């Protein structure tokens, strides 16, 4: 394969992942557009693989028997592992992920817990705190760590290692918060269509108190994640600020929805509101990063005569 042919194949794979994210997640897609182009492609590739595995578990392949879906998931994991060795795959979504993984240092320490969590969905319906923590780590926290590796990939080695170390708790917290707010929003579908109780207390007794307890956990993790935002490179920072604001808004809307209605109504953030939420979050973040004067006032740029 010539260099131009490989470049065209790589581009087709990245386009496939872009199609996946645009088809399945408007909120995440909006945030990802704020990333620099290279990081944008890599994060889309991560999401493409995550979405593909999720479809095997309980999306487009729901009519396939669970044991057959287990084999399909095993095949997908094997293809990812082989592709990371070979550097390519005939599955375009896997190929795009491989490009991102090899560039950014995403390896089996992150992919194996992810596929283990996906496999859990095929065999386990109810969760206790311990099993839920294991599941959330594999299904969400490692995805946050994958994205963090994307954000760190272009930094000098010392800076990259420092970011991966210092921002890891925030990346895990944000991935967990995103997953848990989805647990609350999708409470009815998870229980009625899939027989799953991720949040046992809320699923068993959907009271406002149980709803608030679940969302208190979400909001605490969002707060922890925000402490890591200043550590991120500027491009990544904008995207994470936007995504965090969107999910915080979803948490707020869920908190104002009666618990008994959550199971029968899919709460979402309207498109117009998303734009306002993202715009406001970015403006507040920009204001917070402006240097302050000696008495705490914002320092305005010096404009010299004749200079715009």
For 19-54, write each residue's pLDDT tens digit. Answer: 998 888 777 788 888 999 889 999 999 999 999 999
Question: Mean pLDDT, to the nearest integer, of 57-68?
Answer: 77
Name the residue among 71, 73, 34, 3 with its Cα closest to residue 240. Answer: 34
Reading the block at residue 271, the tokens are 């498109």
Range of the domain at 201: 3-286
Is residue 298 included in any domain, yes or no? no
Percentages (nearest 5) of helix, strand, coil residues in the chain = 75, 0, 25
Determine the longest span between alpha carbons in the chain, in angstroms: 74
Structural domains counted in the chain: 1
Output DSSP code: residue 230.
G
Is residue 305 included in any domain, yes or no? no
CB atoms within 10 A of CB 165: 10
Q: Using CA atoms, how far apart are residues 59 and 181, in angstroms rounded to an integer?
A: 19
Q: pLDDT tens digit string along 242-271?
A: 999 999 999 999 999 999 999 888 899 998
Is the pLDDT at 84 greater than 60? The verdict is yes
Is residue 293 included in any domain, yes or no? no
pLDDT band at 303 (very low <50, low <70, confident <90, very high): very low
Is residue 65 included in any domain, yes or no? yes
Is residue 160 included in any domain, yes or no? yes
Is residue 291 included in any domain, yes or no? no
User: CA 217 → CA 172, 177, 211, 214, 301, distances in Å?
Assistant: 14, 8, 10, 5, 40
Cα 73 from chain centroid (whole Å): 20
Read off the CATH number of the domain in which 73 is found. 1.10.600.10
């Amino acid at each position: 394969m010539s260099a131009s042919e490989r470049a065209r194949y790589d581009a087709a794979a990245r386009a496939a992942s872009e199609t996946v994210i645009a088809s399945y997640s408007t909120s995440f897609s909006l945030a990802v557009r704020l990333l620099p182009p290279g990081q944008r492609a890599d994060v889309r590739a991560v999401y493409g693989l995550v979405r593909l595995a999720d479809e095997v578990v309980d999306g487009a392949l729901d009519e396939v028997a669970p044991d057959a879906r287990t084999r399909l998931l095993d095949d997908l994991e094997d293809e990812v592992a082989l592709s990371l060795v070979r550097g390519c795959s005939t599955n375009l979504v896997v190929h795009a992920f491989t490009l991102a993984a090899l560039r950014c240092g995403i390896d089996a320490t992150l992919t194996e817990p992810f596929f283990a969590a996906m496999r859990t969905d095929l065999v386990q319906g109810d969760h206790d705190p311990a099993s839920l923590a294991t599941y959330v780590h594999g299904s969400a926290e490692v995805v946050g760590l994958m994205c963090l590796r994307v954000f760190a990939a272009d930094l000098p080695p010392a800076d990259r290692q420092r970011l991966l170390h210092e921002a890891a708790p925030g990346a895990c917290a944000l991935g967990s918060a995103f997953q848990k707010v989805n647990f609350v929003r999708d409470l009815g579908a998870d229980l009625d269509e899939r027989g799953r109780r991720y949040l046992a207390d809320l699923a068993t007794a959907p009271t406002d108190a149980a709803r608030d307890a679940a969302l208190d956990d979400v909001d605490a993790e969002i707060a922890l994640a925000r402490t890591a935002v200043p550590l991120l490179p500027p491009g990544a920072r904008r995207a994470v600020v936007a995504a965090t604001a969107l999910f915080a808004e979803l948490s707020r809307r869920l908190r104002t929805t009666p618990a008994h209605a959550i199971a029968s109504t899919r709460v979402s953030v309207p498109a117009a509101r998303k734009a306002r939420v993202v715009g406001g979050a970015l403006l507040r973040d920009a204001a917070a990063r402006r240097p302050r004067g000696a008495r705490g006032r914002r320092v305005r740029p010096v404009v010299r005569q004749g200079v715009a």
